């Protein structure tokens, strides 16, 4: 199943910089692992914001939920999720 996920990060300024750096390093490693596994095939930064728009390709809603809640930055994220399906005019995705 494909999902469009929009994530906005709001890290409190009271969090120590060293802790923020550690969390960001874990986030990067985890997201890159998911990208290599094909579960997170697209990620784009939103210009001027600490935010991204991503496409996830996972088995079901529960797998997506588990992935998102395991993100190290999850406690400081606002997340919106939209399920996607193939557009009938697409030449890039096999029609089923």
Closest CA to 51 of 21, 80, 18: 80
Cα–Cα dist 68/71, whole Å? 5
Query: In order of start, what are the domains of the chain with their CATH numbers?
Result: 2-84 (3.30.70.1060)
Position 90 scores a pLDDT of: 87
Locate all alpha helices (DSSP H) within 14-60, ordered by sequence.
17-36
Model-level pTM?
Answer: 0.90
> 14 — phi, psi (to 5°)?
-80, -10
What is the pLDDT at residue 53?
Answer: 98
> Would you call 57 helix, strand, or coil by DSSP?
strand
Per-residue pLDDT of the chain (96 residues; tens, 9 = 90+): 999 999 999 999 999 999 999 999 999 999 999 999 999 999 999 999 999 999 999 999 999 999 999 999 999 999 999 999 988 898 886 655
User: How many residues does this entry show for the chain?
Assistant: 96
């Amino acid at each position: 199943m494909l999902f469009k996920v929009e994530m906005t990060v709001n890290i409190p300024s009271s969090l120590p910089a060293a802790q923020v750096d550690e969390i960001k390093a874990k986030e990067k490693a985890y997201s890159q692992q998911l990208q290599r596994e094909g579960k997170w095939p697209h990620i784009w930064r939103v210009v001027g914001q600490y935010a991204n728009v991503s496409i996830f390709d996972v088995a079901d809603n529960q797998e997506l939920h588990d992935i998102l809640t395991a993100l190290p930055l999850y406690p400081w994220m606002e997340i919106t999720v939209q399920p996607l399906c193939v557009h009938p005019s697409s030449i890039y995705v096999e029609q089923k």
